[in-house]
Amino acid sequence: MTSPASPGRPDGPGGSPVAARDRVHEQVRTLAAGGAAEIEADDGPVRVVSLLARPELPDDGTGSILLLRDPAEFLDYFPRLSGAAARTTARWWPGAVTVEVDGPAEGLAAALAGPAGNIAPRDAASKTRARCPNDPAVAAVLELSPTPLVQVGGETAETLVRLDEDGRWEVLVEGTVTQQDLAARQGETIVFVCTGNTCRSPLAEALLRNRLKDAVGPDVRVVSAGLSAAYGAAASPESVDLARQAGADLSSHRSQPLTEELLDAADRVLCMTAGHRAAILRHRPDVSHRVTLLDPAGGDIPDPIGGGMADYEACRNAIDRGLDLLMADLGLAPPPGESSGDPSPGRA
């Protein structure tokens, strides 16, 4: 999210940062009064109006686009869409991508309906378009505006993507962001969870990263966190040693707690024990379909902290069994038992 402390560009039209800031405040005042503002973006002028002023929009067939301050606002305007759809757009935004959603507007976007506030193209009134701009001048005006804004012209280099409620997408118009670019950003985010984020979950993170090094497929983001973790603790020496034996590096790991932001961004949250999963679901029952156990048999992976190296090795072996199934589920390895017999990547 762009900070309102530094709107505009010091080297852009108008010169100094002070002049850029004054321009932004003038544009925000114009929008609040129901007028239209012309913003000098990198790709050319962008014309915006306040949604709540319900202005008369152009009837030239181009329609208009809802502007989002942050990707997290997407479901506020389209609550019928799934979390998968929101995670898809969060991988593209902020950026030069406009998303077209089929069907009537709902939630906050219901205010867009009607002859004076429709942001759908005139030839397809049941479609709604939205984007989260990464241009700093546009983002600065969005940040300070007290009302939602609608773009009614500009930035023709945008890529237009149709998105369905389950997160499936299709490129309608390819702009500066190509279909290949969009696809490359669609890899899953996987979060491993234990208690302190110093033994089990960081070891699982390191071993999976090691397996993914030579895998061919979409990028996969791998993170670990702890339910009772503090920020900044190093991984246990035994976990660092076991990771090193497998060709992975845990020396720079620093612990972190499981946050709402991590939970919302995750496609899969893989817990070390049933207790970890239950604790998460007591707080967030809405994510139950994304929170599972790493052990494919549904058992707990015991905490080796305080034990000897044999305890850590047993923990590592249990993690590896879970990673075997995970890699197959991601489509990046044969299912366990169907490989050529070579050791699984990441095993010591």
Annotated catalytic sites, by residue? Answer: 194, 200, 303
List the strands of the sheet with 221-226, edge to edge: 221-226, 189-194, 268-271, 291-293
Helices within the chain (DSSP H only): 17-32, 74-77, 83-92, 136-144, 179-184, 200-212, 237-245, 260-265, 274-283, 309-329
Compute how many other C-beta atoms are within 10 angstroms of the C-beta atom of residue 35: 13
Whether the CB-CB separation of 132 and 71 falls below 8 Å is answered with yes
Cα–Cα dist 314/325, whole Å: 18
Q: Are 100 and 92 in contact (CB under 8 A)?
A: no
- 117: amino acid identity, one letter: G
The Cβ of residue 10 has, within 10 Å, a number of other Cβ atoms equal to 12
Whose CA is closest to 203, among 302, 333, 100, 118? 302
SS3 call for 113: coil
> Which string of DSSP letters, residue by residue, matches 212-259?
HTT--SS--EEEEEETTPPSSPPPPHHHHHHHHHTT---TT----BPP
